[in-house]
């Protein structure tokens, strides 16, 4: 099932973050908990983990670009088992 992942708020005052590096490329598979990309904010640098197993389909925000909280950053195909078990959390 194809879904678009959104940038989650990691701090109370966070409104946007810079995508500093993509750890997966389109076409690459990932497991739940694998790092997908890294973000930088004024207060924190962190790796964003995959919420479920799947394949990265499309990068929507390039490295070095800003993403807003709630904005779509990538499209993924989730594995059927991830969808059947409730998908992403």
Comparing 32 with 11, which gets the higher pLDDT?
32
C-alpha to C-alpha distance for 56 and 74, rounded to whole angstroms:
8
19: three-class secondary structure by DSSP? strand
C-alpha to C-alpha distance for 20 and 46, rounded to whole angstroms:
10
Query: What is this structure's pTM?
Result: 0.86
17 in a structural domain:
yes
Which pair of tokens denotes residue 3?
């879904």
Measure the N-to-C terminal CA separation of the chain; round to a whole number of Å: 15
Summarize pLDDT for 12-48 with one digit per residue, the tens. 888 999 999 999 999 999 999 999 999 999 888 999 9
33 in a structural domain:
yes
Mean pLDDT of 62-84: 88
69 in a structural domain:
yes
Q: DSSP label at 50?
A: P
C-alpha separations of 24 from 17, 49, 63, 65, 87 in Å:
18, 11, 12, 17, 20
Q: Based on the structure, what is the number of domains in the chain?
A: 1
Summarize pLDDT for 41-72 with one digit per residue, the tens. 988 899 999 999 999 999 999 999 999 999 99
89 in a structural domain:
no
Residue 82 banded pLDDT, cuts 50, 70, 90:
low
Structural domain boundaries enclosing 11: 2-84
Domain of 8, CATH number, reads 2.40.50.100
Residue 89 banded pLDDT, cuts 50, 70, 90:
very low
45 in a structural domain:
yes
Question: What is residue 87's predicted lDDT score, i.e. its pLDDT?
Answer: 47
């Amino acid at each position: 099932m194809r879904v678009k992942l959104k940038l989650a708020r990691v701090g109370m005052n966070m409104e946007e973050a810079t995508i500093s590096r993509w750890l997966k490329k389109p076409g690459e598979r990932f497991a739940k908990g694998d790092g997908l990309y890294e973000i930088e904010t004024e207060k924190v640098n962190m790796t964003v983990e995959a919420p479920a197993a799947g394949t990265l389909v499309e990068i929507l925000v390039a490295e070095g670009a800003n993403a807003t909280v709630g904005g779509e950053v990538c499209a993924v195909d989730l594995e059927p088992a991830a969808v059947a078990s409730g998908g992403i959390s």
